[in-house]
Structure 1
Amino acid sequence: MAKIDSIEDVQALLAGQGYICSRALGVLVFLALRLGRPLFLEGEAGTGKTEIAKALAAGLNRRLIRLQCYEGLDASSAVYEWNFPAQMVAIRTAEAAGGADRAALQEELFSREYLIERPLLEAMRPDENGAPVLLIDELDRTDEPFEAFLLEALSDFQVTIPELGTIKAPKPPIVVLTSNRTREVHDALKRRCLYHWVDYPDFDREIEILHARAPEAADALSREVVAFVQALRTEDLFKKPGVAETIDWAKCLLALDVINLSPEVIADTLGAVLKYQDDIQKLQGSEAKRILDQAKAALAPA
């Protein structure tokens, strides 16, 4: 397992997985690992919040367990449920055999054999490689009652199953929570966590990220792509492109054997970098050329 003794160790570990993070984020990740505190990441979609959990799990050789949040998510869906079809089969089998001991049958039906573990319960199980990385993704999509439940679960790192009792993690998982801030997450939950706003990277760091994730791209093309995307982010768009779109776009351009950006190439591949028709429509005609000229001017030596 990778040894983490410093902030530089964190940055090196993440860089080894193609994740280039700022020192500020490196500090928070180091503290989260050292203090055993959950890490709460907020920011625009596509800025790399989810990827940090993946990079941590891969770099530390830990299991990644992901709880994808959605509206209506409740505790039973996040923790466990009983395998009802299998229980019904067992009941019918016992009835067909006759003379079944009802107490013994009930004990069997609510044993671990019929338990379906969901992400929160999975994350509390011991693992030979160490505590897993638990990614609670897009928490802002859930409802406040689930937040309240999560607050308790993250405080004690234990859950109670009425039929089996309380299950406590022998070692707390490494918890990463993300939010795209479609709504405010309650302060009580944030106070349990170390907080970081994941912003769009500056030009130099986005170039580093692109070199790490699409190393086959020539430096000239990478610089044009990053400059154009950063110029796009200054426009009045419904959804500004994130780092994920920068990487996707560069890979699409490579697949088309593009060497340099041109208005024609941009028009053909806008669907890789913009995801809403209204935004794509705004870049029709001379707009793409204007932004490209702006990007190239920014790249020109002073």
Structure 2
Amino acid sequence: MAARRNVVHSGEVTDAHRAGRPDSPAALADALRATGYLADDGLATAAYLALEMQRPLFCEGEPGTGKTALAQALAQVLGAELIRLQCHDGIDAAQALYDWDFPRQLLHLRALEAAASVDGSTLDADAVEASLYEDRFLLARPILRALRTVPAVLLVDEIDRADDEFEAFLLEVLSEHAVTIPEVGEVRAVVPPVVVLTSNRTREVHDALKRRCLYLWLDHPDVAREIEILRSRLPGVPERLAQQVATAAQKLRTTDLIKPPGVAESLDWARALQLVGARTLDVDSAARTLGAVLKYREDADRVRNRLDSLLAS
């Protein structure tokens, strides 16, 4: 068996890693706004504390409330690499951590054997085995990449879709900021990544994981903030159109729909209306662009039959 080797990302923890970071919740809110993400006081404070306390930020809320976008905006603010781990039913530690590039290892082994047969040398078994587990054959998955990258924002998206076993594994990694690769040794983050976990609350996440994090519930924005988001992300959208789209989206969220629209759908809707030349949202323009905001035929049929009431002031 090859000798175990400790592999730790090189570098020193210095104040340089904190240089340029917002020094207050208000400063963070301003920095997020510069990226196009509008954060209220509660959100900015929770994100600021997560950065200062080096704790994961657990973001929970309905789909489309800006949870994933927050991680993306934080990465921009911090000048960090965004590394995303998309959770799904059946995800396991290997998919999140690492794998070995078996085809390349096999080619490497055959090359060594071919070279030895040409010159008549004898392969050293320990040396050959060690060479098979060099870093070039290691396929780093999101968590391992995040531990080895400085600076990094690790987005663990939709953790509620994973199972209990994966939650337990993730809890250990977030507590230790380190993993052990049997063939290599320990990989420990010199500078822990900023971690954002999101959940659409399709199931309850265990208390043990939540206790490790700072908690943030994200609601859909009110009309005024949604108008501000639309005008910020789509500077060319007419003020009247932004107001109508935001108001209609708010009404849709209180309608019995399979999938109520989030902010992303509001942005798509406003953009679609712009592209078809609409200056205001009326029955005709709404009917033509419903596919930008509603994603199920049943929802579209239900809304199309009552567009007059939806668009009434």
The two structures have a TM-score, normalised by structure 1, of 0.94
Q: Which residue of 2 aligns with 1:207?
A: 227
Matched residue of 1:172: which SS? coil
* Consecutive aligned runs of 4 or more in structure 1 exceeding 3 Å deviation: none
Distance in 2 of aligned mates of 1:204 and 1:214: 15
Choose the corresponding residue for 2:54, options 21, 24, 36.
36
Q: Which residue of 1 aligns with 2:15?
A: none
Please say if residues 126 and 170 of structure 1, whose CA atoms lie closer than 8 Å, have aligned partners that are also in contact: no
Q: Which residue of 2 aligns with 1:290?
A: 309
Distance in 2 of aligned mates of 1:247 and 1:272: 9
Distance in 1 of aligned mates of 2:137 and 2:303: 55
Q: Establish whether residue 13 from structure 1 lines up as the match of residue 13 from structure 2.
A: no
Please say if residues 207 and 226 of structure 1, whose CA atoms lie closer than 8 Å, have aligned partners that are also in contact: yes
Q: Which residue of 1 aligns with 2:171?
A: 151
Q: Which residue of 2 aligns with 1:89?
A: 107
Q: Establish whether residue 219 from structure 1 lines up as the match of residue 214 from structure 2.
A: no
Could you tell me how far 1:229 is from its partner in structure 2?
0.8
Equivalent residues in 2 for 1:254-293, closer than 5 Å: 254-285=274-305, 287-293=306-312
Q: What amino acid is aligned across from residue 213 of structure 1 in structure 2?
A: R
Deviates more, 1:89-98 or 1:10-19: 89-98
Distance in 1 of aligned mates of 2:304 and 2:310: 11
Q: Establish whether residue 249 from structure 1 lines up as the match of residue 266 from structure 2.
A: no
Distance in 1 of aligned mates of 2:88 and 2:156: 11
Q: Establish whether residue 67 from structure 1 lines up as the match of residue 90 from structure 2.
A: no
Q: What amino acid is aligned across from residue 113 of structure 1 in structure 2?
A: R
Unaligned runs of 5+ in 1: 297-302
Q: How many residues align?
A: 290
Q: What amino acid is aligned across from residue 35 of structure 2 in structure 1?
A: Q
Distance in 1 of aligned mates of 2:221 and 2:143: 32
Could you tell me how far 1:261 is from its partner in structure 2?
1.1
Could you tell me how far 1:265 is from its partner in structure 2?
1.1
Could you tell me how far 1:126 is from its partner in structure 2?
4.4
Q: Establish whether residue 76 from structure 1 lines up as the match of residue 94 from structure 2.
A: yes
Could you tell me how far 1:262 is from its partner in structure 2?
1.1
Distance in 2 of aligned mates of 1:50 and 1:253: 25
Unaligned runs of 5+ in 2: 1-18, 117-121
Q: For each residue in 1:258-289, what CA deviation from the matched residue of structure 2 results, as whole angstroms up to 9, or x when unmatched?
A: 0111111111111100111111110123x011
Aligned residues with identical type, % of pairs = 49
Matched residue of 1:146: which SS? helix
Q: Establish whether residue 234 from structure 1 lines up as the match of residue 254 from structure 2.
A: yes
Matched residue of 1:66: which SS? strand
Distance in 1 of aligned mates of 2:161 and 2:124: 45
Q: For each residue in 1:46-71, what CA deviation from the matched residue of structure 2 results, as whole angstroms up to 9, or x when unmatched?
A: 11100001101111111111111111
Distance in 1 of aligned mates of 2:169 and 2:63: 25
